[in-house]
Amino acid sequence: MKRLLVIVCCFLLPSVFGFQVGPTGDANARLKAVFLYNFTRYIEWPEEYKAGNFVINVYGSNSGLLMELNNMAKVKNVGSQKIEIKQTTVLEGIGKPHILYVTPENSSQLSDIISKLKGKSTLLVTEKPGLAGKGSAINFVIVDNKQKFELNKTNAEKYSLKVSSALVNLAIPVDKDN
Amino acid sequence: MNKRKHIRIFLALALAMLSGVLLNAQTSMHVNAAFMYLQQGQIDSAKKEIDLRMKEPGAANDPDSWYINGFVYKELYKKYENTNVESPYRIVAKDAFIKSIGIDTSKVRIQATRDNLRYLGSRFYNDAAQTLDTLNYKKSTINYNYYRECTLAAEPNFNIKTKDVEYYNALGTMFNTAYTADKKANIKYFDLARDTYLKVLTIDPNDYKANFNMGLLYWNKGVDVIYNDINLDDSIDVVFDMQDRSVEMFKQSLPYAEKAYLMEPKREETLIVLSGIYYSLNDFQKSQMFQQMLEDLRKQK
């Protein structure tokens, strides 16, 4: 009888606590990292940006995304360029990256960011409704619970970036007047 | 008291009871012989006699014969197959006792048969628990069903639903644990876990554990699609397709997790899962709401 009781308890316990509560990763961050890497295959940077490391800078705090980007940088290149992930929390730290991702918290500084990027060939990626119409080239948006992205081709071209028509077809189009 | 002495006393008591239950029966020569051999501890000879008896025309409707048949095979099980989770002797004993109790009218013997069925049931149950792993789960389920048969035959009003829920929740969690341990190699266990929890919910749609685990299972699966099924080299349209699949999983997880929350709103794990599912669905407002509730709950403790 004692053995039976012990086994009854075994039946009860693992049914809730037998495995960890929740997945180990941040799926949203992983998706953003996948998209950011994918953009490099649909966009062409000017010749002078094809030497040295391919720099992706994150302006703001997003530890999940940084982790995913760093994981990606360990196994992927952009052409022959090694991927280098940077992060800054100050406007002065933006530098001259190939891609600048601006967290929603720092989106209010968009006009200052655009000023800093003047004359550079940086793909400006934001994540707040309406920002593709206010200067960013790509803006992550949520549509039907899904991560999508708006593309403002005109804004991208202002930075001397060539955007493939395939990317235009996959993105939610935003013209400069929106 | 040492174990051997304990067994001898138990057998003596069982035989005394056996002679009592046979008093009113019209026994055959083979039944009497089987009984005699049992008294002498010659279990193999008892088997030969009862096997002969069960081939006789009158045996099928004779509770006496079925009872002795069950008793002999129970003793055979104890002697030869005590550690065999697939013991054929034990199955014969179960079937014989169930047959006996189904046609019996003797209150004394019915009580004895119930005791024997309870004993066998507890052994089936133990073995069901012991084999609850990825290699042996089919044996586990077979033994659990034998336990059910024994229990319901002994006590037709027993609330077996509670045991069913308990067993299938444990089985589902075993599958889920196997799936979680190696998601690529053990993909089949995701389906088995899902089907098992769904079985629990058909028995009891309001079972907290099954609802919670279904929510958790689908949520994990949705995240796994993003992590395991998307390669960095996949094109964006492939990524979109994968995301659709993932979101579908998150949406499937939600009603189960919400139901679990409604049933047990003060459980941390439910709040964690709900906050996570809404986050995965990019509904950050609701995710934050459940996160706040979790923090408030932790402060109260």
Q: Do B176 and A19 touch (CB under 8 A)?
A: yes
Which value, in Å, is the radius of gyration of the alpha carbons in chain B? 27
Q: Under an 8 A CB cutoff, do B236 and A38 touch?
A: yes
Domain A26-173: CATH superfamily, name plus number: Response regulator (3.40.50.2300)
- Selecting from B129, B177, B280 the residue whose C-beta is nearest the C-beta of A7 gives B129
Asked whether the beta carbons of A127 and A170 are under 8 A apart, the reply is no
Nearest-Cα distance to chain A for B50, in Å, is: 30
| Chain A partners within 8 Å of B294 (Cβ) | none
Q: What is the pLDDT along chain A (178 residues), one digit of tens a residue?
A: 334 333 433 343 334 433 445 566 688 899 999 999 999 999 999 999 999 999 999 999 999 999 999 999 999 999 999 999 999 999 999 999 999 999 999 999 999 999 999 999 999 999 999 999 999 999 999 999 999 999 999 999 999 999 999 999 999 988 644 4
pLDDT of residue A9: 34
Q: CA A138, CA A125: separation in Å to the nearest integer? A: 5
Is B294's pLDDT higher than 50?
A: yes
Q: Do B269 and A16 touch (CB under 8 A)?
A: yes
**Which of B223, B251, B273 has its CB closest to that of A21?**
B273
- Would you say residue B144 has pLDDT above 50? yes
Maximum separation of any 2 CA atoms in chain B, in Å: 83
Domain B1-122 is found in CATH 3.30.450: no
B196-301 matches B1-122 in CATH topology: yes
Say if residues B219 and B255 touch (Cβ distance below 8 Å). no
Q: Which of residues 46-105 of B touch A (CB under 8 A)?
A: none
Q: For B215-240, what is each residue's pLDDT tens digit?
A: 999 999 999 899 889 999 899 999 99
Residue B112's CB is within 10 A of a number of other CB atoms, namely 23
- Out of B126, B219, B240, the one facing A7 most closely (by C-beta) is B126
**pLDDT band at B15, cuts 50/70/90?**
low
CB contact under 8 A, A37 and B232: yes
Distance of CA B184 to the CA centre of its chain: 27
Name which of B222, B232, B230, B197 is nearest B211 in CA terms. Answer: B197
CA dist B219 and B239 (Å) reads 18
Set of chain B residues whose Cβ sits within 8 Å of the Cβ of A25: 223, 226-227
**How high is the mean pLDDT of chain B?**
91
Helix, coil or strand: residue A78: strand
Amino acid making up residue A134: K
Residue A83 contacts B where some CB pair is shorter than 8 Å: no
Q: Is B190 exposed, middle or buried (0-12, 13-18, 19+ CB in 10 A)?
A: buried
What are the distances in angstroms from CA B200 to CA A58, B149, B211? 47, 18, 9
Given a contact cutoff of 8 angstroms between Cβ atoms, the answer to whether B277 and B257 are in contact is yes
Taking the complete model, does pTM exceed 0.80, yes or no?
yes
Instruction: Provide the shortest C-alpha distance from residue B57 to chain A (in Å).
Output: 39
CB-nearest partner of B239 from A7, A38, A72? A38
pLDDT at residue A27 in the model: 86
Query: Cα(B80)–Cα(B58) distance, rounded to whole angstroms?
Result: 29
Q: Where are chain B's structural domains?
A: 1-122, 196-301
Check CB contact of A74 with chain B, cutoff 8 Å: no
For A147, list phi and psi in degrees, rounded to 5: -80, 115
Q: Which chain B residue is nearest to residue A166, measuring alpha carbons?
A: B236
Substitution target in B232, B242, B252, B283 with the highest count of A β-carbons within 10 Å is B232
Question: Which chain B residues are closer than 8 Å to A23 by Cβ?
Answer: 219-220, 223-224, 227, 276
* A50-101 pLDDT tens trace: 999 999 999 999 999 999 999 999 999 999 999 999 999 999 999 999 999 9
Q: Is B126 on the interface with A (CB under 8 A)?
A: yes
Per-residue pLDDT tens digits for B238-287 = 999 999 999 999 999 999 999 999 999 999 999 999 999 999 999 999 99
pLDDT value at B146 more than 70? yes
Whole-Å CA distances, A89 to A62, A68, A94, B73: 10, 18, 9, 78
Tell me the torsion sign for CA atoms B121, B127, B132, B137. Answer: negative
Q: Which CATH number fits domain B196-301: 3.40.605.10, 1.25.40.10, 1.10.260.40, 3.40.50.300?
A: 1.25.40.10
**pLDDT tens digits for B60-78?**
999 999 999 999 999 999 9
CB-based contact, B220 to chain A, within 8 Å: yes
The partner residue sitting opposite B169, judged by closest CB among A15, A28, A72, is A15
d(CA A174, CA B10): 86
Least confident of A149-153, B181-185, B194-198: B181-185
